[in-house]
Amino acid sequence: MDISEKLSTFERKSNNRFELAAKFINSVKQAEIIALQENPKQGRDFLKKLGSNFQILNQKLVFDYKNPFKMLADAEPRRRRSEAENSSCINWR
């Protein structure tokens, strides 16, 4: 009985373990769709989800990313730098 309860608990938890990652990927996919629609309210709401401390510097919008978007933003410059250093290198990430 104890083992079957543990098994059912594990099965319920295993269904939800990728839920946060799936939500993150779907929200990243929505960024382009929201930008192309040119709907200011949706754009504002999406930016609030991305970060905080919004400023305009040199005619560009800059802000502090929230996690997990911060990890994605931090990875982007490294990818560009490695491509510039070795253009024949394939990025497998």
Residue 92 counted as domain residue: no
b or e along 71-83 (b: 16 or more beta carbons within 10 Å of the residue's beta carbon)? eeeeeeeeeeeee
Q: What is the pLDDT of residue 54?
A: 87
Residue 11 counted as domain residue: yes
Residue 42 counted as domain residue: yes
pTM here is 0.52
Residue 90 counted as domain residue: no
Residue 54 counted as domain residue: yes
Residue 20 counted as domain residue: yes
**Which residues constitute the domain of residue 22?**
2-85
**Residues of the chain under the 50 pLDDT cut:** 81-82, 84-89, 92-93
* Number of domains forming the structure of the chain: 1
Burial bucket for residue 43 (CB in 10 Å: 0-12, 13-18, 19+): middle
Residue 79 counted as domain residue: yes
